[in-house]
Structure 1
Amino acid sequence: MATVNLCMNPPGTRKIARPDRGRSAPLGRVPGSRCVERPLAPTIGAARDRRGGRGSAAVGVGLLRWIGAADGGSAHGVLHTHTMITATSLSMHFGGQTLFTGADLQLEPGQRYGIVGANGAGKSTLLRILAGQEAPSAGEVVRPRHARLGVLEQDHFRYEDVPILQLVMMGNHQLWEAMVERERVLATEPFDDTRYSQLEDVVLRFDGYRLESRAAKILEGLGIEAGLHPQPLRVLSGGFKLRALLAKTLAAEPDLLFLDEPTNHLDILAIKWLEGFLADHVGCVVVVSHDLRFLDAVCTHILDVDYERVTPYRGDYTSFVARKAEARLRLEAEIARREAEIADHKAFIARFSAKATKARQANSRQKRMEKIVIEELPRSSRRHPGFRFQARRPSGREVLKLEHIDRSFNDKAVLVDVSITVERGDRLAILGPNGIGKSTLLKIAMGLLPPDSGTITWGHETDVGYFPQDHAEALGDPAQSVLSCLWDVCHDEGMGAVLARLGAVLFTRDDADKPVGNLSGGEGARLLFARLSAQRPTVLVLDEPTNHLDLEGIEALAGALEAYDGTLIFVSHDRWFVDRLATRIVDIGPDGVDDYRGTYAEHLARSGTDHLDREAVVADARQRRRRSKKRRRQSR
Structure 2
Amino acid sequence: MIVLSCSNISLSFGTNKILENISFNLQESEKVGIVGVNGAGKSTLFKIIAGTLQPDDGEVFVAKSRKIGFLEQNSGLDSSNTIWDEVMSAYSHLIEMESRMKALEESISREKDELRLESLVKEYSDLADNFSRSGGFEYNSRVKGILKGLGFTEDQFDLKISSLSGGQKTRMALAKLLLEQPDILLLDEPTNHLDIDALEWLENFLKNYGNSVLVISHDRYFLDSVTSKTIEIENHGCKVYNGNYTEYVRQKALDREIQQKHYELQQKEIARLEAFIEQQRRWNRERNIIAAESRQKAIDRMQKVEKPKDLPGKIKMKLRAGIESGNDVLSVENLSKEYPGKPLFKDISFKLRKKENVFLLGPNGCGKSTLLKILVGKVEQSSGAYEFGHNVLLAYYDQELNDLDENNTVLEEVWDENDDLTHTEIRNALASFLFTGEDVFKPISVLSGGEKSRVALTKIMLSQANFLILDEPTNHLDINSREVLEDALQKFEGTILAVSHDRYFINKLSTRILEFRGTSLFDYPGNYTSFLEYKANNRVSNTDNAREVKMSASKQEHIASKEERAYQRKLEKRLRETEQAISDAEKRLEEIKAEMLLEEVCTDHVKLMQLNDEKNLLEKKLEELYPLWEKLASEKEAVTSGS
- Per the TM superposition, whether the score is higher than 0.5 is yes
Indicate the residue corresponding to 1:112 in structure 2.
31
Secondary structure of 1:263's match? coil
Instruction: Find 2:187's aligned residue among 243, 256, 259.
Output: 259
Work out the CA distance in 2 between the residues paired with 1:259 and 1:516: 29
Deviations 1:96-115 (Å, cap 9, x if unpaired)? 65444111223233222100
Instruction: Find 2:293's aligned residue among 363, 369, 372.
Output: 363
CA drift at 1:180: 11
CA drift at 1:380: 3.9
Indicate the residue corresponding to 1:50 in structure 2.
none
CA drift at 1:563: 6.5
Q: Is the aligned partner of 1:429 residue 2:358?
A: yes
Whether the 8 Å contact between 2:410 and 2:442 is mirrored in structure 1 is no
Work out the CA distance in 1 between the residues paired with 2:80 and 2:388: 37
Whether the 8 Å contact between 1:121 and 1:305 is mirrored in structure 2 is yes
Whether the 8 Å contact between 2:36 and 2:232 is mirrored in structure 1 is yes
Deviations 1:188-217 (Å, cap 9, x if unpaired)? xxxxx99x9999999778545533211111
Instruction: Find 2:256's aligned residue among 317, 322, 328.
Output: 328
CA drift at 1:83: 4.2
Indicate the residue corresponding to 1:310 in structure 2.
238
Work out the CA distance in 2 between the residues paired with 1:134 and 1:511: 29
User: How is 1:304-453 mapped onto 2 (pairs within 5 angstroms)?
Assistant: 304-353=232-281, 354=283, 355-372=285-302, 374-388=304-318, 403-407=333-337, 414-420=344-350, 429-432=358-361, 437-445=367-375, 453=383
User: How is 1:503-542 mapped onto 2 (pairs within 5 angstroms)?
Assistant: 503-507=431-435, 522-523=450-451, 525-530=453-458, 532-533=460-461, 540-542=468-470
Moved more, 615-624 or 327-336: 615-624
Work out the CA distance in 2 between the residues paired with 1:144 and 1:513: 49
Deviations 1:289-317 (Å, cap 9, x if unpaired)? 22333222211321111243111233333
Are residues 559 and 141 of structure 1, via their aligned partners in 2, closer, same or farther at CA, if it must alter by over 3 Å?
A: same
Secondary structure of 2:497's match? strand
CA drift at 1:365: 1.6
Indicate the residue corresponding to 1:126 in structure 2.
45
The number of residues matched between the two structures is 529
Deviations 1:448-507 (Å, cap 9, x if unpaired)? 666555567889999975434455x66687xx9xx9466445477899877655532235
Unaligned runs of 5+ in 1: 1-81, 187-192, 605-609
Instruction: Find 2:86's aligned residue among 158, 167, 176.
Output: 167
Moved more, 577-586 or 275-284: 577-586
Whether the 8 Å contact between 1:405 and 1:418 is mirrored in structure 2 is yes
CA drift at 1:577: 4.8
Whether the 8 Å contact between 1:429 and 1:572 is mirrored in structure 2 is no
Indicate the residue corresponding to 1:218 in structure 2.
146
User: How is 1:86-105 mapped onto 2 (pairs within 5 angstroms)?
Assistant: 86-93=5-12, 98-105=17-24
Moved more, 487-496 or 83-92: 487-496
Moved more, 219-228 or 497-506: 497-506
Whether the 8 Å contact between 1:292 and 1:317 is mirrored in structure 2 is yes
Alignment TM-score, normalising by the size of structure 1: 0.65
Deviations 1:266-298 (Å, cap 9, x if unpaired)? 344333322221122233211112233322221
Are residues 333 and 126 of structure 1, via their aligned partners in 2, closer, same or farther at CA, if it must alter by over 3 Å?
A: same
Work out the CA distance in 2 between the residues paired with 1:89 and 1:513: 38
CA drift at 1:252: 1.9
Indicate the residue corresponding to 1:543 in structure 2.
471
1:290 alignment partner AA = H
Instruction: Find 2:70's aligned residue among 151, 160, 167.
Output: 151
Higher relative helix content: 2
Deviations 1:6-60 (Å, cap 9, x if unpaired)? xxxxxxxxxxxxxxxxxxxxxxxxxxxxxxxxxxxxxxxxxxxxxxxxxxxxxxx
User: How is 1:196-207 mapped onto 2 (pairs within 5 angstroms)?
Assistant: 207=135
Whether the 8 Å contact between 1:117 and 1:123 is mirrored in structure 2 is yes
Indicate the residue corresponding to 1:21 in structure 2.
none
Are residues 300 and 569 of structure 1, via their aligned partners in 2, closer, same or farther at CA, if it must alter by over 3 Å?
A: closer
Indicate the residue corresponding to 2:200 in structure 1.
272
CA drift at 1:382: 4.2
Alignment TM-score, normalising by the size of structure 2: 0.65
Whether the 8 Å contact between 1:428 and 1:586 is mirrored in structure 2 is no
Are residues 300 and 586 of structure 1, via their aligned partners in 2, closer, same or farther at CA, if it must alter by over 3 Å?
A: closer
Whether the 8 Å contact between 1:296 and 1:317 is mirrored in structure 2 is yes
